Amino acid sequence: MTDARDTVSQASGVNAPICDPAGEHCITCSDEGVPMRVVAVHDDGTAICEGGIEVMVDLVAPVDRGDEVLVHAGTAIARVA
């Protein structure tokens, strides 16, 4: 399965990762957050968001398919409403 992150990683290589200064916010930095839509919910506290990205949803539980969440470093930290 190819997800959005693989594409970014392949395109940029390790010297210019996703947090390339010319790109979007860096994931290392505290305040990068991306709104994502949940497409599948697992029973272990994780969900799959658009782009095939696995996200921990413990902090915004319960979530359903179609919910919009704000994702930071692989964790949904808030619902977007």
Partner 1 sequence: MKYVDEFRDRELGRVLAAQIVATVEPGRHYKVMEVCGGHTHTIYKYGIDDLLPENVELVHGPGCPVCVIPMGRVDDAIAIAKRPDVVFTCFGDMLRVPGGDETLLDAKAQGADVRMVYSPLDALRIARENPEREVVFLAIGFETTAPSTALTLVRAKRERLANFSVMCNHVLILPPLRALPESPDLRLDGFIGPGHVCTVIGARPFEFVPADYGKPVVISGFEPLDVLQSVHMVLRQVADGRAEVENQYTRVVPYDGNIAALRVMSEVFELRPHFEWRGLGFISQSGLRLSGAYADFDAELRYAVPGVRVADPKACQCGEVLKGVIKPWECKVFGTACTPERPIGTCMVSSEGACAAYYNYGRFARERVVV
Residue 81 tokens read as 């409403």
Intra-chain end-to-end CA distance of the chain, in Å: 30
Quick check: 1 binds partner 1 (CB under 8 A)? Answer: no
Site for partner 1 in 28-47 (CB under 8 A): 28-33, 35, 45-46
Query: By C-alpha distance, which of 79, 66, 64, 65 is closest to 33?
Result: 79
Give the number of residues in contact with partner 1, rule: CB under 8 A: 41
54 forms beta bridges with 48
Quick check: 74 binds partner 1 (CB under 8 A)? Answer: yes
The amino acid occupying position 33 is: G
Quick check: 7 binds partner 1 (CB under 8 A)? Answer: no
Using CB under 8 A as the criterion, which residues of the chain lie in contact with partner 1 when the complex forms? Answer: 5, 9, 14-15, 17-33, 35, 45-46, 54, 56, 58-61, 68, 70, 72-75, 77-81
